Structure 1
Amino acid sequence: MALLECPPNQQGKIGADMKTYDVVIIGAGAAGLMCALTAGYRGLRVRVVDHANKAGKKILMSGGGRCNFTNLATTPANFFSGNPHFPISALKRYTPHHFVELIERHGIEYVEKAPGQLFCAHSAKDVVAMLLTECEWAGVEVSLSTAVKHIERLGDGMQLEIDGARVEAGAVVVATGGLSIPTLGASGLGYDLARQFGLEVTETRAALVPFTVTSQWKTSLAALAGLSCPVAARCGDGQYQEPLLFTHRGLSGPAMLQASSHWRPGIAVEIDWLPSIPVEETLRKLRQEAPRRHLGTWLGEVLPKRLSQALLQWQGWKDRPMAELSNGDIQTIAQGLGAWQFKPAGTEGWRTAEVTMGGVDTDAISSKTFAVNALPQLYFIGEVLDVTGQLGGFNFQWAWASGVACGQSL
C-alpha cells in the first residue's frame, strides 16, 4: 500500500470532522495491542487501526492455535539484529515473568511444553481476548477493517487519512509486523512508511521456515513424510538440537526452522542424526561384542526404521555384519551419521515463514523509547524492526517488551 503525502493545498487544514488522538497505532497485533493498553492506562487517548478484520491474527494461529506466548529463558542472545545491543534495554525492562503475571491475572491456564516455552493450555484466543479486554479497560479505540491511506508530519504531530477521514495524532506508532504469512494480512506497509520518512530498511527474508529440496531428493524424502526424529542441525554459525520433520516438500520441524534463520542460498545444512550417541565408539564396541549383528539392524534400533533404511541407501552402505567393518568403514559411517549434509533448493518462503528476518534499521531508532531519532513523533515496534527471535516464544516476548517500552514513553 503506497503511503502518499497529502496535496500541498490540503496540508495543515483541519476540518470540522477532524478527530484528534494522542497516539494512533497502526497494527492490531501483539506489539500494537500491548503498546496501546500501556499508553491507554497512562491516560492517553489511543486509537489502534488495522486493515484486517480480526485483531491478533498471527497470535491466533501461532503454536498450533495454542500460542507460545513467551520463553522464560529469554536473553538478548536469542535475537538476530544488525545492531545486537538494540533489544537489550526493552527486554530487561519487561521480562517474561511480567507477561506471565498478566496472563495469570486473567486466569488463563498455561503449560510448559518444552523448557521455558509457555503455551496456552486451551486456545490462543485467550491471549487475544485478554489484550482486547485490557485495551477496553484502558479506553483504547480499536478500529478493524480500517485502512490508513495517507500520513504526513504536521508540526509537532502527525496527520493521517484513515478510511477517508482526516485524523490528527500527537504520535504514530508503526506496529505492522513483517512479510510472513500474507494470508493473515501481512504486507510491506511498515517498510513503506519507514522509507517515506527517510529510514533505511535492511534486507528482508523469510525465517523460521521449512526447507524445500531439489527434485532428485523430493521423491526420497517424500517417502519419509510425517516421520520425525531428534537431531542436531548446523548451518552457518547456528547449531540447534531439536526434532526434524520430513514433509512432502522437504525438511521441517524445529531443527530446520531454527537453521533457516542462518541459511543463505548455496549454503549446506549439516545434520547429526544421532547427537546423543558416540557412533564410532559404539560401533567399535559392537564389532567386538556382537560381531554377527548387522549394521542395518543396529541403525533400525537407534533411528526410525524407515529412516535407517533410507540412510543405508543414500550413503551406499552395505548392510553387513559388524565383524566385516574395518576401522575406516566405521569412521566413514560415523562421519555420515554425524555430519550428513544437504543443500536446500530454497525455503517455502513467506507463505509459511513464522517471522521476517531484517526490517527497519534500528540505528535510526531509540532503544529506550522506540521513537525515530530525527522524528520523535514517529515510532516503530515489534517485528517491523530489524530484530528477529529464535523459535520458542522469543518473538512474542519481543513484541510485548517493545510494545510496553514504547507505550511507557509516549
Structure 2
Amino acid sequence: MSKARFGELVEKIVEELREYEFRNLVVGARVPAELREREDELRASFRIETGEDIKEDITRAIGSMLQRRLNVSVEYQNPEIVVLVDVFSGEYEIQVNPLFIKGYYRKLKKNIPQTPWYCRYCWGRGCERCGFTGREYPESVSELVGEPALRIFEALSYKFHGAGREDVDATVIGTGRPFILELKHPRKRFVDLSILEREINEHAQGRVEVSGLEYSSRRELRILKSLSPIASKTYEAIVEFDGDVSDERLREIEERFRGIVVEQRTPRRVLRRRADKIRQKKLYYVEAEKIDEKTVKFKIKTQGGLYVKELIDGDDASTKPNIAEALGRRPLKIDLSVIEVEAPRSEKSEKDVELVLDRYSGEHLEDHGRDEEPV
C-alpha cells in the first residue's frame, strides 16, 4: 500500500461523488481474511494490545483525504453517504442512504387509495376485469406525493409511510394525516421544501394536498410506525338513518359514549386479511348534530384500531356498544371523513416508545394492510 495508490482511489471516489449533494459520509474498508489473520499473529507474537489495526488505519486515511477534498464531515451514526473501499484491489462501493421528508396530507376526493391498489383478479398483470391496467384505482396518495419528489430529488425510488390509512371511500380533511416519504438513492438533498410542496399540490390538482413539509429521519419513521396504530384519531361521519332520530336520543348517545371502552370483534368486511378476535378500544367521545330528521353528523374521537363504521352500524352486534342499537335506528348511508390524526412526537426517546408499546402490548398493533385502517 502506498500513498499514491490511496490518492488514485480517492480521486476515483471524489469524481463519482460529485454527482451527489451531501454533508457527511463514513468510510469502511474490506481487508482480505488472510491479511487480518497475519496481523493477529503479529500482534500476538509481539504482545501488541494498543494502536489501530490495518482496517482502522485504512478508513482513517481514506476518510481524512475525502474530508479535505469534498469539505464534508464524518458521521458515524447516520451518514448520508457510505464509502466501502478495498485498497488491495483498487475497487470501491458507494452507498447513498435514504432521505426522509415528513408532513401531512389531506385527501379531498374519494376513491383514492393511500398506496397503489392492484387488481384483485390479476394482481397487476392486466386482465379484462381491470381494463388491462392491472389496477383497481388509477392513482394513489403515495404516487401523487412521491412522483414529484422523485423527480425533484433525482432519486431512484421512494416509499410512502402513513400514520395508518383511511378507507378508499373516505376523505382526509382538517389537519390531515401525518406521513413520512422515504426517497432512496437521492442525488439532491438541499431542496427548499416549499418548492416540493407547491409541485405536489399542483401535480395533484385538488385531489390531494400536502402541508408542513420538513426533513425527517429514520428515527422519526420508527416512532411514526410504532405509535400510529394506537394514536388517537378523530372522524366526522354523516349518517342517514332509516327513521327519525330524536334530539333526546342524541344527547343520550353523547353521554353514554364518552370515555368508555368498546369491545369489537373483527368486522366481516376485513376478515379475509385480519385475525378474527375481539379487541378492546378506547372511545373518547361522540358529538352529535342533527342535520335533518333522519340525518346526523357525528364527531367521533377514538383510539387507533377502532373500526368506526362498525361502531356506528354495529356489524350485527359484533361491536358493543354501538350507535345504531342505542338509537334504535339502522344506518342507510355512512359518509366518513378523517379530520385529525394524532402525530407521534419526535422528541420521544426510544425508551418512551418502548414504554408506550409495552403499555399497549396485546392490542391492535398489526399492520393495517393494503386496503385501509380500521374506520
Q: TM-score range by the shorter chain?
A: under 0.3
Higher relative contact order (CA 8 A, sep 6+): 1
Q: Which structure has more helix as a fraction of its residues?
A: 1
Question: Structure 2 length as normaliser, TM-score?
Answer: 0.27
Q: Which structure has more strand as a fraction of its residues?
A: 2
Question: Structure 1 length as normaliser, TM-score?
Answer: 0.25
